Amino acid sequence: LGADLVFRTPMIGTVSRKAGVTLACNPDAERLLHSGELVGVWPEGFKGVGKPWKDRYKLQRFGRGGFVSAAIRTGVPIIPCSIVGAEEIYPLIADLKPLARLFGFPYFPVTPTFPLLGPLGVVPLPSKWFIEFGEPIRTDEYGPADADDPMVIFNVADQVRETIQQTLYKLLAQRRNAFTG
């Protein structure tokens, strides 16, 4: 699922559609889940990819919990996925807010290579990734009304967030070097 900004951005929107990305909204998520598709969500949204270097691997708030309500409505489990390595590919050292506002972006990144190297600056730095899937968090035990209960949504989203955060800490402790593993 992708944010509406993804589809408004030239070239990225076209490539995303061809790759099977659909709008991050509950009706689309529920349609896909009802038809047996796997749905990937990044509940931190742009706050997660626009974090300063000092905040890497510190999860941000998980939005409004739409992913939880879609999972409860369809009775599918939520499988936490923790990724270490992604936050080193574009180390954010600054955010040019005036340019972000001008282009309608949530942030405008300055990294060691972008915008200094122009288009070459979007080539990611090579980092070693570790990906771990956690135990599924069941949602089939909730009733239909729970999909609209803010406390249920908050509690499940917080359980997912805390599971991912603890796994990130574990993976970071095992990793020796961001670029060689």
| Closest C-alpha to 106, from 92, 88, 120 | 92
User: How high does pLDDT run on average in the chain?
Assistant: 93
- The residue that leads in pLDDT, 46 or 36, is 36
Q: Give the rounded percent of residues in the chain with a pLDDT score beyond 70.
A: 100
pLDDT at 80: 97
pLDDT at 46: 82
CA 151 to chain CA centroid, nearest Å: 22
CA 9 to chain CA centroid, nearest Å: 18
C-alpha 1/C-alpha 20 separation (Å) is: 9
Confidence of residue 6 (pLDDT cuts 50, 70, 90): confident
pLDDT at 3: 85
C-alpha 83/C-alpha 165 separation (Å) is: 10
Confidence of residue 75 (pLDDT cuts 50, 70, 90): very high
Give the DSSP letter string of the chain. -B-HHHHHSTTHHHHHHHTT--BSSHHHHHHHHHTT------TTTHHHHT--GGGTT-----TT-HHHHHHHHHTPPB--EEEESGGGSS---EE-HHHHHHHT-S--EE-SSTTTTGGGGGSPP----EEEE---B--TTS-GGGGG-HHHHHHHHHHHHHHHHHHHHHHHHH-S-TTT-
Q: Contact, 26 vs 69, CB < 8 A?
A: yes
Per-residue pLDDT at 49 exceeds 90: no
Other C-beta atoms closer than 10 Å to the C-beta of 20 total: 8
pLDDT tens readout for residues 144-171: 999 999 999 999 999 999 999 999 999 9
Q: How confident is the model over 68-77, as a mean pLDDT?
A: 97
pLDDT tens readout for residues 93-115: 999 999 999 998 999 999 999 99
